[in-house]
Chain A
Amino acid sequence: QKEVEQDPGPLSVPEGAIVSLNCTYSNSAFQYFMWYRQYSRKGPELLMYTYSSGNKEDGRFTAQVDKSSKYISLFIRDSQPSDSATYLCAMRGGNTPLVFGKGTRLSVIA
């Protein structure tokens, strides 16, 4: 079992839809949770950062962490064609390297 599991998709939605992206993990030492967005042939770009359990909102993006279930989510409201990218979840413990999921490829169709 990999430490971080993420459905690779692809996921295709119409413009304006609410998108839900998820990851599960097995390492209970993970405390810091991130979502990165990666466009084709580019490096990952940090979108959201959350410590421990709870919700965090930033514009159209909401990140949720449920440590009891070892489950994290990213919601995108009013999705736009420019949101089409691969979304990577990433997480780490206290002072350990970031561990990434495989990424979910998202297409938002105009």
Chain B
Amino acid sequence: DTGVSQDPRHKITKRGQNVTFRCDPISEHNRLYWYRQTLGQGPEFLTYFQNEAQLEKSRLLSDRFSAERPKGSFSTLEIQRTEQGDSAMYLCASSLGGLTNEKLFFGSGTQLSVL
């Protein structure tokens, strides 16, 4: 499978715990995006990387959230001290950035439930 891969598919955690999600992009893609989607809403941008550099962060990304892409390949998104409001689908997407016709390809997401 050469698409975007996300792990785990589902995560149930208790409020106050830390969680970490992983995303493996399409191999030749240099850009990697994180989005969050709640029920009945479209995906909302969180942050993106070009290679290993984190180029932009949304103000939705509170200081409890941190994302890394250490070698410009896979990425992790960590949420510390989870809150019930963090319950959502976390989507990763990758692309060949820098092109005028940049197209994002999404993974199947990680569904987070905070109890």
Contact = CB atoms under 8 A, between A and B. Distances in A.
A98 B42 CA distance: 11
B45 A98 contact: yes
B53 to A, nearest CB: 14
Interface in A42-99: 42-46, 49, 51, 88, 90, 97-99
B65 interface: no
A42 B42 contact: no
Given A8-B40, A88-B42, A100-B42, A43 B103 contact: no
Given A88-B42, A97-B48, A97-B56, A46 B100 contact: no
A32 B101 contact: yes
Given A32-B101, A49-B103, A51-B100, A44 B91 contact: yes
Contacts of B101: 32, 49, 51
B76 interface: no
Contacts of A46: 103-105
Interface residues of B, number: 25
A98 B45 CA distance: 7
A46 B48 CA distance: 19
A96 B93 CA distance: 15
A44 B100 contact: no
Interface stretch (B12-20, B80-88, B106-114): B106-114
A42 B3 CA distance: 13
A97 B91 CA distance: 14
A101 B45 contact: no
B103 to A, nearest CB: 6
